[in-house]
Chains A and B, each alone.
Chain A
Amino acid sequence: MNTKNTLTAERRRKNILSVVLAAICIIYVLPVLTVVINSFKQNTYVKIETFALPTAESSAGFQNFITGMTFGNYPFWKSVAYSALITIVSTVLILLCTSMAAWYIARVNSKFCKIVYYLCVFSMVVPFQMVMYTLSKTADTLKLNTPWTIPIVYLGFGAGLAIFMFVGFVKSIPLEIEEAASIDGCGPIRTFFSVVFPMLRPTMISVGILEIMWVWNDYLLPYLVLDINEYRTIPIHIQYLKGSYGTVDLGATMALILLSIIPVIIFYLSCQKYIIKGVAAGAVKG
């Protein structure tokens, strides 16, 4: 009888928890829903009736999305394309170069390797503001100020965390596998690409996710490095639209914000498992 009572009490407690969490959940989704409803409203109604659903009177239909496409005298699809280009190239470059370097650091372990490794760890505690001025000038001098070359800047500034995570993982791989490959006649390059590289997969995914989230959402680095009249990423474009304060068309801005969140949410829902694992791994190690 007594155990039965505690069991029902336990069940009741869990139900209450579920209800409380569901309520927080709804509060969590509301900001995004507000963006959705406002992206279909005319500008003036966004300000005065922010939380009302679009009515026949206030609705703008898909006009906001059409206006948004050429809003701010810059085609929106171009900033999407530049964001995608920079994110993909930077992530691939970081994964390839840092995994190679990390393997070398972990295996050769010379004095030079140790210096590079500790500099990488050190770079993780340095805030971007410390180097932003000199970094953007250096990038300018070296002509790294285009979407095709900015990945090199990302590789340089983002190497720290990636090297740190890869070195940690390589150290846990037994040497015997690589030695067997070398006895079978593999040189270092082949050993790396056909033996080590496939084993790094879990860390590759974690590092890749962290880099994608960072580069896609980064505002200040591309803003300072790129020529923004020609090249705008999504965050730069949205900041530019709102920067011209007062005259801004809020409905169209919300339409663009919605369009820029949709790919992120699709990406999240389709690789949720990896994202959450990657974030936990990155935090625990960083």
Chain B
Amino acid sequence: MKRKITGGYTLKAPMQRCSWLFMGPVVAAFIIGFVWPFIQGIYLSFCKFQLISDAQFIGFDNYKTALADASFRHAFGFTALFAIVSLILINVIAFAVAYALTQGIKGSNLFRTVFFMPNLIGGIVLGYIWSMIFDGILQRFGTSILLDSKLGFWGLVILIAWQQIGYMMIIYIAGLQAVPEDMLEAAKIDGASRWQTFFKVTIPNVMPSITICTFLSLTNGFKLFDQNLALTAGQPFTIGPDGLPVKQTEMLALNIYNTFYGQNSSSTGVAQAKAVLFFILVAAIGLIQLYYTRRKEVQQ
């Protein structure tokens, strides 16, 4: 039986005497690397500033400007569509491949090794590999991925699918291998067809993996940055209603980056407001989806 930690744990008092040693480094670094920047970020989103030292409180103006920004709205629509399309594509293929690989066919290990490999290559490098490939194909048709936002969209989808299918596949394989053998056997003895077994036994049992994978691929889709920067960098551009350029394949993270470090140095406050909105969006998706899919899981 597992014991609960009570006052009786003999090491507790001596540990507390050297808490600075155990907790000190992490707490200090965590404050520098997360807590302080986070609080400061929230505060600055309500300020007008070019340097942090000259920040002036201006209320919700940055948020109003951010929400009225045509490029930000476009980036939101583009990112949402991208996240949903890639979510479906990645998970359907990853699940199918994982299912096939758990059927005991020859070469399963080799296939698994190859499918997972792209995950270890960084986003920037992947972006340039694919940009060369797409250029090589599309120049035969006299076009380029930088000229057509539809091509840019599907280019990004293909890239991200190539990268993440292997990752999701690993999680699905772990889930599929945990389906109790006797349940499958019982279904077979009861005369269930292959499809019935699949939908009534396998799927409910791998529901936790499905939760994790949908959650991961959706937030990954929303947070995508490196690949976006390397493959299209937001091109092609059009002119928005306010006369400013709208980058057609720019996703949210890249839009925030460009607002921070772009030519307009007075828009840092707006960029920080966009970043806060982005954070709320990503955190909310995570929570909602987790809540929604957890309900469907098999009770254990």
A residues within 8 Å of B by Cβ?
Answer: 14, 17-18, 20-22, 24-25, 28-29, 31-32, 34-35, 38, 46-48, 50-51, 97-98, 100-101, 103-105, 107-110, 112-113, 116, 119-120, 123, 125-135, 137-139, 142, 144, 152-160, 163, 174-175, 178-179, 182-183, 187-189, 191-192, 213, 216-220, 234-235, 238-239, 242, 250, 253-254, 257, 260-261, 264-265, 267-269, 272, 275-276, 279-280, 283-284, 286
Residues on B with beta carbons closer than 8 Å to the beta carbon of A127: 222-223, 253, 278-279, 282
Taking the nearest CB of chain B, how far is it from the CB of A18, in angstroms? 5
Residues on B with beta carbons closer than 8 Å to the beta carbon of A98: 26
Residues on A with beta carbons closer than 8 Å to the beta carbon of B137: 50
Contact of B120 among A158, A239, A264 (CB under 8 A): A264
The docked-state distance in angstroms from the alpha carbon of A137 to that of B128 is 29
Residues on A with beta carbons closer than 8 Å to the beta carbon of B129: 31-32, 34-35, 257
Asked if B142 lies at the interface with its beta carbon under 8 angstroms from chain A, I say no
Asked if B275 lies at the interface with its beta carbon under 8 angstroms from chain A, I say yes
Most A Cβ at <10 Å: residue of B18, B106, B223, B275: B275
Taking the nearest CB of chain A, how far is it from the CB of B188, in angstroms? 12
Asked if B38 lies at the interface with its beta carbon under 8 angstroms from chain A, I say yes
Asked if B237 lies at the interface with its beta carbon under 8 angstroms from chain A, I say no
> Would you call B15 and A188 a contact (CB within 8 A)?
yes
Taking the nearest CB of chain B, how far is it from the CB of A119, in angstroms? 7
Contact of A125 among B22, B122, B283 (CB under 8 A): B283
Contact of B41 among A125, A134, A182, A283 (CB under 8 A): A134
Asked if B295 lies at the interface with its beta carbon under 8 angstroms from chain A, I say no
Residues on A with beta carbons closer than 8 Å to the beta carbon of B5: 107, 109, 175
Residues on A with beta carbons closer than 8 Å to the beta carbon of B135: 47, 50
Taking the nearest CB of chain B, how far is it from the CB of A175, in angstroms? 6
**Identity of the chain B residue whose Cβ is nearest the Cβ of A21 in the assembled complex:** B111
The docked-state distance in angstroms from the alpha carbon of A261 to that of B124 is 12
**Identity of the chain A residue whose Cβ is nearest the Cβ of B43 in the assembled complex:** A134
Known: A101-B23, A188-B18, A219-B123. A156 touches B29 (CB 8 A): yes
> Would you call B117 and A265 a contact (CB within 8 A)?
yes
> Would you call A156 and B30 a contact (CB within 8 A)?
yes
Known: A28-B114, A152-B33, A189-B21. A217 touches B123 (CB 8 A): yes
Asked if B196 lies at the interface with its beta carbon under 8 angstroms from chain A, I say no
Contact of A21 among B97, B167, B222 (CB under 8 A): B97
The 0/1 profile, CB within 8 Å of A marked 1, for residues 170-201 of chain B is: 11001000000000000000000000000000
> Would you call A250 and B260 a contact (CB within 8 A)?
no
**Size band of the B side of the interface?**
35 or more
Known: A21-B100, A217-B122. A133 touches B132 (CB 8 A): no
Residues on A with beta carbons closer than 8 Å to the beta carbon of B87: none
Known: A31-B129, A279-B170. A187 touches B14 (CB 8 A): yes
What is the interface of chain A mostly: helix, strand, loop, or mixed?
helix
> Would you call A157 and B97 a contact (CB within 8 A)?
no
Taking the nearest CB of chain A, how far is it from the CB of B219, in angstroms? 8
> Would you call A103 and B132 a contact (CB within 8 A)?
no
Known: A156-B33, A157-B34. A107 touches B15 (CB 8 A): yes
Taking the nearest CB of chain B, how far is it from the CB of A138, in angstroms? 6
The docked-state distance in angstroms from the alpha carbon of A120 to that of B30 is 8
B residues within 8 Å of A by Cβ?
Answer: 2-3, 5, 9-12, 14-19, 21-23, 25-27, 29-38, 40-41, 44, 52, 97, 100-101, 103-107, 110-125, 128-130, 132-133, 135-137, 139, 162, 167, 170-171, 174, 212, 216, 219, 222-223, 225-226, 229-230, 252-253, 256-257, 260, 268, 271-272, 275-276, 278-279, 282-283, 286-287
> Would you call B171 and A280 a contact (CB within 8 A)?
yes
Residues on B with beta carbons closer than 8 Å to the beta carbon of A137: 52
Residues on B with beta carbons closer than 8 Å to the beta carbon of A156: 29-34
A-B contact pairs, 9 of them (CB 8 A): A123-B34, A127-B278, A131-B37, A132-B275, A218-B122, A219-B124, A234-B122, A280-B170, A280-B171
> Would you call B124 and A239 a contact (CB within 8 A)?
yes
> Would you call A107 and B30 a contact (CB within 8 A)?
no
> Would you call B132 and A250 a contact (CB within 8 A)?
yes
**Identity of the chain A residue whose Cβ is nearest the Cβ of B18 in the assembled complex:** A188
Taking the nearest CB of chain B, how far is it from the CB of A134, in angstroms? 4
Known: A46-B132, A238-B124. A104 touches B100 (CB 8 A): no
> Would you call A28 and B118 a contact (CB within 8 A)?
yes
Residues on A with beta carbons closer than 8 Å to the beta carbon of B15: 104, 107-108, 188
Residues on B with beta carbons closer than 8 Å to the beta carbon of A46: 132
Taking the nearest CB of chain A, how far is it from the CB of B10, in angstroms? 5
Residues on A with beta carbons closer than 8 Å to the beta carbon of B120: 213, 217, 264-265, 267-268, 275
Known: A38-B132, A144-B32. A138 touches B37 (CB 8 A): yes
Residues on B with beta carbons closer than 8 Å to the beta carbon of A132: 257, 260, 275
> Would you call B40 and A219 a contact (CB within 8 A)?
no
The docked-state distance in angstroms from the alpha carbon of A280 to that of B120 is 14
Known: A109-B5, A159-B29. A242 touches B167 (CB 8 A): no
Known: A31-B129, A100-B21, A284-B174. A130 touches B11 (CB 8 A): no
> Would you call B11 and A129 a contact (CB within 8 A)?
no
The docked-state distance in angstroms from the alpha carbon of A46 to that of B128 is 13
Taking the nearest CB of chain A, how far is it from the CB of B200, in angstroms? 21
Residues on B with beta carbons closer than 8 Å to the beta carbon of A24: 97, 111, 115
